[in-house]
Every structure is written in structure tokens, then in C-alpha cells.
Structure 1
């Protein structure tokens, strides 16, 4: 039988797969986990909406802080302790603002995770958005 495009390149060993997927958890979280944390008053991170302020005002996750990635710098983060965990999100998989924000935060030696899915993922899970300029 001919191999498919799926199996043509062999899967990683179980040991490699374990290391890879465990490492992903250090870099990413998902909409469900963020929603659960926010709904249960487990605010041990700061959720940053890194899109333009106009997009934030149109609809954002309640509790998020509007912080367009271009404004992430040492001076603007001065009110946050150095060990604050930031979770960043943008519009969704078609947007790379989360990566741009994560790079900036990492260069500033700040802990950061990406919320995979962004606003699209949030809505796909059935969660609601808030509107206006307040988090």
C-alpha cells in the first residue's frame, strides 16, 4: 500500500512527542483555560488584547487590557511587577499580533503565553465578548 502525505514522514518517537507537546504548554494556553480562570476569579495573569484599540472597542474578552503590541515597552509596563505573566491574544489564527507581542515581551524579559485561537477561538467556544473601552 502506498503511504499517504500524513504518514510519508514518520511520526516522532513517543519521547520526542512528549517533549514537544509539554514544551508547547509553556508557550500557549487556550480559550477554555483562560475562560475558566477568569470565571473562577483565578487572576494570576494579565490578559492583553494586543489588537488596535478600535478592534478592542468593537469586542474583546471581559477582563482583558487593551495594549496594542506596538505600545509594549519597558516604560508602559512599569506598573506591572517583573514576574507578571502576560497572556496575549489577537483576532485569531489569521493574525500574528500575538507573536509580535510575545517577542516584545520576551525581549523585555517578561513571562508570556499566547492564547491560541484569539477572538475567533473565543467565539467558537461559545463565549461572549464585551464592547467599549473598559476591560
Structure 2
């Protein structure tokens, strides 16, 4: 079965969300899930995110994420498809899920806060990837 380019891109956009849309979303409207391994989570993650490594989603999601949630998953960045596998796992469990394009890399490059063991840190936005100014 073949679909048109327009149908493909419409479907793709229904399944993706960019970092600024996540950052500017209404508090509590999304459950943001970091799908990376523990050491990556410890290195830094989006404040308020839930940590469920991709391989653990089938077993842990129902205990950590309410079934009626709008889930947003992320991993490292554009060079990593971990969040695609995670989005598929949530979708197969029946969750409404979107993949945050750009991952934590573009979150940081947009100058958004990152929670670390030392506290919350924030970098200057990279003018090459965002028009956002802090």
C-alpha cells in the first residue's frame, strides 16, 4: 500500500512535537518521559520528566504514567532513534504519544533548563537552532 507524501507528512506531524512546544505547554498537560539509560538521566534531564528507559516501558509505564495522559518521549537527539522505539512502545500500550524531535540535545541548544545532581542549569540559547531568547 502506498500513501501520498501529503498523507505521510500529516501523519508524521500528528506524532511529533518540537522542544519549544513542549517547553511552552500548559503545566500538567503533558507527561514528558526521558527514555535514556540511567547514566544519561543522571547526567541531566528535563525538569519534571519521568524516567523510563525504553526497554522498561512495557513493564513500568502503567505504574508510572496515567492511561489518559498525553505522553511525550525523548532521547538524545536527532542522531538517536531511541525515542522512536519508546514512542512505539507507548503507542502499543494504547497511550496518546508524541516524539519530541531534537531530543535533549535541542532542549539544551534552545537554552531550556536541565536538572542535574547539582541542581537546575540553563545554557545560553544557540542562535543557530532557535529564535528563542531568554
TM-score (norm 2): 0.75
Structure 2 gap segments, 5+ residues each? 120-134
Looking at secondary structure, tell me which structure has more strand per residue: 2
| Alignment counterpart, residue 69 of structure 1, candidates 49, 54, 61 | 54
The 1:55–1:79 alpha-carbon spacing in structure 2 relative to 1, beyond 3 Å, is closer
Alignment match, 1:94:
79
* Structure number with bigger Rg: 1
For the residues of structure 2 that align with 1:23 and 1:67, how far apart are their CA atoms?
A: 25
For the residues of structure 2 that align with 1:22 and 1:78, how far apart are their CA atoms?
A: 32
What is the number of equivalent residue pairs in this alignment?
A: 117
CA RMSD of aligned residues (A): 2.3
TM-score (norm 1): 0.75
Kindly report which structure 2 residues correspond to 1:1-135, keeping only aligned pairs within 5 A, or say none: 19-37=7-25, 40-41=26-27, 43-74=28-59, 76-132=61-117
Structure 1 gap segments, 5+ residues each? 1-15
The 1:78–1:66 alpha-carbon spacing in structure 2 relative to 1, beyond 3 Å, is closer
